[in-house]
Structure 1
């Protein structure tokens, strides 16, 4: 069997058929051989022209020939020398059974695993864990000595807050799971492991709380991830696009966040979190439109203030979506709706403008969006300066040159400020994108076109689902109890039940008699 595999790896024949055979052989569950030379020849063929893969030959107890295979930069070489190489070379080992017993029970490494196939060894080496192969033993031994450079824990720049934890996820999935475990200490918190990607073999953890998350939801998320067949996963959006219900919608059906407290709060509500190795963004499913307008600070401040701020978000959502189109529609078709003094002021400001209101609005909106994207893509030191100074200079110069009117500059500026009130970037950019077709409808049909656009958006939202959960829940279908955490945020002591997602679930999350005040029976 091993000779047959070696024949697939001809060093000087890089044809397509040979490449496909190599991939198939590397993925096959072929058992390791007792002959050390055959195993090493296979691995050398597999890692041909991979100069960062090290093969360390040494004698075990002056009798057994051994090979350590590891990737330079992914393995802690110092610990490998101290905890693996030194004990094996100094201890007297006579038989293969003694060697196996020593490796499993006496090696001073926290994790030692037996590998029986080539594919298991390849996975271990790729993850930074060195593999030991010995002559006369058809097993490989994997040592948990992975080590690589990683970013320190910092506050997420896109989800910063005034009050609350300052920790954010990193690109290392082990660090991310530990941050969640520090918050939710119950053994009911589960982490299922999946691997996606033909070449990247990206590790994915499916996290949920047993007894709170519905089992049907867990199985559905797991099945959708298992169906993904792709070369590699480089970021969480790869997973998001493959598992969401409607990929053509501008509205995200899965929540993404960099904050462990946000993930923990959603897990406690019965949702499922998807952690992907290599990215700090964690996916949360299912979600709704109202969940995307909730911020972590809504629950860290007083409920009256949080409710007012949340209502302001929905008000500025309306302004961000409709203000330019309303301005174009009224100025083009419905001048009678504007007070005479204001109409004369706008007319005098537009006297030298050569473009109709529709062209003026689209031109200014495109310019504003270009400045905003330029500010995001440029280095931080100059990005904010370019976006702010560019808007001021271009706006003032355009007004003075007579290309646009001052009222239009005001409308676009207010619209841009309103869009910054939306707490989630994914939903914010969707609203910004929908602004343009509504402006075109307003310029073509007036307020009737604006209403047609609003109706089309509402119909689309009503048809959306996130893992079977209606996107407009709890408004459509109406759930009175869950309105406590939608447009407003009720006091925490009144939110006794969890949101209802799918099937049976653990309904109550706190005692019903937590209203603050004097203790019952007290004076």
Structure 2
């Protein structure tokens, strides 16, 4: 880790500088002369063409706003209706106006879509919220579809996202904190948590990391993720992204923290564990038996996705003896005519699958589906007929790709695809011994990794038997009476005696 820091010049000195005392907000007192205020604001905003300066009251007042950000209907309703009636003095006293005497503050509000009213002989600048809103409708996220449950998803407007959360969690302890991050972009970052449930130490830790970010541009939570995560060189994601309000609220009630940003429909959940990426809202919206069955299938897909190609290569290259006698001849016949060793076969097929997957994402949807069909059927059949790849290798790689799709989280799905390559090399050089070493490296890394002070492989390492009730299996909800300890909640009790009625009914039957 230190070696990479020295190479890329991201050492401790820069981190200490970033986490030092924050720079004070610039101050520039406003002037009594109207022209001086206008000159200062227009020069600071580089005389942009979409910055409008409306001279009013025979040159004694002016209204400044960006026509690209301001809503003309709001301007007319809030300001011009008063001005047209001749009530100039009342503009400063309008209830929806905010006053300041700092020109730098007025600059920031102009850039957010506000209008600034300036008057001759007065140092008071009045700011009006007239920002135009272009919002996408609330729809179900494409990447997180469910069979049962809510079909609402976050949008790019962070205020709408907060509204979706508050509608589901109407409690006084729900808290939102705003931050402005990015020297140039000035992005609004929102931190959400349940006061009295979330760990104050984690909240303080996240707040300090957000404040230490000194980048010029922050566009989305994905930008923030690399700045504040514990181990940026780990292939495993240490924050879980979601576009579902119901999933976000469930994690808030577990004592976790939510990170959102203006302009992005994605919310980051932290701290997280490895097993959280295999949980889906469908597990809790369906009965616990079916939810447990589906979750076990997902966890099995982890082994298949990263280990199946390596397992096949190890058998073909080193360990023929593990095959049953009835399978040796068919397997031998399928690879007899292939000129390449199995490791080359696997690399070729895995890369082809990745190319097909990426092209299907980038192309328009109808064409993308066609590419998937053509790539899966035509190309797969053609390479087998040409004798370049064995038919068994096509089956193995296809099963591997399907297993990677089972993961509910796109980030972890990408991680599994990346881990396939080193395991292929281990298996191609050392056989089963190489696979064991590769799996041990992954397991050791998972046990060592942390997410904001929380063990990443909890509740397996360290072992917490009580938290296993919602890990490999999903037991009935009335048994999940305590919040998971990995979130470090202040209040661990989550459910009381919810099935007390069963005892009453038994007593009545006995009578």
TM-score, scaled to structure 2: 0.92
Residue 41 of structure 1 is matched in structure 2 by 39
Do the aligned partners of 1:164 and 1:297 also contact (CA within 8 Å) in 2? yes
- What is the Cα deviation at residue 514 of structure 1? 2.8
2:252 maps to 1:257: no
Residue 7 of structure 2 is matched in structure 1 by none
Residue 211 of structure 1 is matched in structure 2 by 196
2:78 maps to 1:83: yes
- What is the Cα deviation at residue 432 of structure 1? 0.6
- What is the Cα deviation at residue 28 of structure 1? 2.1
Change (3 A) 1:66 1:314: same
Q: Deviations over 1:406-440 (max 9, x none)?
A: 11111111111111111100001001100011011
Do the aligned partners of 2:446 and 2:456 also contact (CA within 8 Å) in 1? yes
2:299 maps to 1:314: yes
The correspondence for 1:388, drawn from 341, 365, 373, is 373
SS in 1 for 2:302: helix
Change (3 A) 1:519 1:439: same
Write the distance in 2 (CA, Å) between the matches of 1:361 and 1:121.
61
Write the distance in 1 (CA, Å) between the matches of 2:118 and 2:318.
81
Q: CA RMSD in A?
A: 1.8
SS in 2 for 1:498: coil
2:51 maps to 1:65: no
Write the distance in 1 (CA, Å) between the matches of 2:200 and 2:454.
15
Change (3 A) 1:104 1:291: farther
Write the distance in 2 (CA, Å) between the matches of 1:304 and 1:275.
34
- What is the Cα deviation at residue 518 of structure 1? 6.2
2:168 maps to 1:188: no
Do the aligned partners of 1:216 and 1:502 also contact (CA within 8 Å) in 2? no
Write the distance in 1 (CA, Å) between the matches of 2:439 and 2:382.
34
The correspondence for 1:240, drawn from 213, 225, 234, is 225
Write the distance in 2 (CA, Å) between the matches of 1:83 and 1:416.
57
Write the distance in 2 (CA, Å) between the matches of 1:466 and 1:76.
43
2:215 maps to 1:230: yes
Do the aligned partners of 1:217 and 1:502 also contact (CA within 8 Å) in 2? no
- What is the Cα deviation at residue 73 of structure 1? 2.6
- What is the Cα deviation at residue 503 of structure 1? 5.7
SS in 2 for 1:252: coil
- What is the Cα deviation at residue 115 of structure 1? 2.0
Instruction: Summarize the alignment of residues 295-334 of structure 1 with structure 2, pairs less than 5 Å apart.
Output: 295-334=280-319
Change (3 A) 1:259 1:306: same
Residue 56 of structure 1 is matched in structure 2 by 54
Q: Deviations over 1:117-167 (max 9, x none)?
A: 122111111111111111122121111221132211111000011111111
Unaligned runs of 5+ in 2: 1-23
Q: Deviations over 1:41-94 (max 9, x none)?
A: 1112122341111111111xx7x822111111311112211221221342445x
Write the distance in 1 (CA, Å) between the matches of 2:322 and 2:336.
20
Residue 20 of structure 1 is matched in structure 2 by none
Q: Deviations over 1:432-459 (max 9, x none)?
A: 1000110111010000000000000001
Write the distance in 1 (CA, Å) between the matches of 2:25 and 2:142.
40
The correspondence for 1:119, drawn from 98, 104, 107, is 104
Do the aligned partners of 2:198 and 2:489 also contact (CA within 8 Å) in 1? no
Write the distance in 2 (CA, Å) between the matches of 1:326 and 1:503.
39
Residue 508 of structure 2 is matched in structure 1 by 522
Aligned length: 486
Residue 486 of structure 1 is matched in structure 2 by 471
Do the aligned partners of 1:66 and 1:135 also contact (CA within 8 Å) in 2? yes
Write the distance in 1 (CA, Å) between the matches of 2:445 and 2:397.
26
Identify which range, 28-37 or 155-164, moves more after superposition: 28-37
SS in 2 for 1:522: helix
- What is the Cα deviation at residue 515 of structure 1? 6.1
Residue 272 of structure 1 is matched in structure 2 by 257
Change (3 A) 1:279 1:128: same
Q: Deviations over 1:8-64 (max 9, x none)?
A: xxxxxxxxxxxxxxxxxx9621111122110001112122341111111111xx7x8
2:412 maps to 1:412: no
Write the distance in 2 (CA, Å) between the matches of 1:437 and 1:504.
37
TM-score, scaled to structure 1: 0.90
Write the distance in 1 (CA, Å) between the matches of 2:494 and 2:167.
20
Unaligned runs of 5+ in 1: 1-25, 94-98
SS in 2 for 1:493: helix
- What is the Cα deviation at residue 340 of structure 1? 1.8
Do the aligned partners of 2:272 and 2:487 also contact (CA within 8 Å) in 1? no
Instruction: Summarize the alignment of residues 135-214 of structure 1 with structure 2, pairs less than 5 Å apart.
Output: 135-214=120-199
SS in 2 for 1:41: helix
Change (3 A) 1:184 1:347: same
SS in 1 for 2:508: coil
Change (3 A) 1:104 1:517: farther
Residue 364 of structure 1 is matched in structure 2 by 349
Change (3 A) 1:266 1:408: same
